[in-house]
Amino acid sequence: MFQPRYLPPPRLEEWDWQDEGKCRGLPANYFFLEGLRGENLRSLEERAKLICRTCPVMQRCREHAIRTPEAYGIWGATTPRERAGHSLAATHAPVQHP
């Protein structure tokens, strides 16, 4: 079973950036795409990434997901495959601030 290696300490200030996420209040299955493959998966990944790219905490979210590492879900406009390292440089979309 996958075990995260670098979860932040359980202090509120380490996690409060999530309060500002654009995903807050959206269904979790927008970002955790289990059991999908092919074009269906890519289409829904792109929907999630579009939300992330307008998120004020995208960079922090992405850094968290890479550092931890988060093995599942879209975080900071990256997929688990991208975070695994192969094409991460290509996913560094500019952060958009409102």
Q: Does 76 bind ligand SF4 (CB under 6 A)?
A: yes
Question: Which single residue is written with the structure tokens 């299955």?
Answer: 29
CA dihedral 28, 82, 50, 18 (to 10 degrees): 50
* Residue 23 is a binding residue for ligand SF4 (CB under 6 A): yes
- Binding to ligand SF4 by residue 33, rule CB under 6 A? no
Q: How far is the CB of 9 from ligand SF4 (least distance, A)?
A: 19
Contact between 31 and 73 (Cβ < 8 Å): yes
Binding site for ligand SF4 (CB under 6 A): 21-23, 31, 51-52, 55, 57-58, 61, 74-76
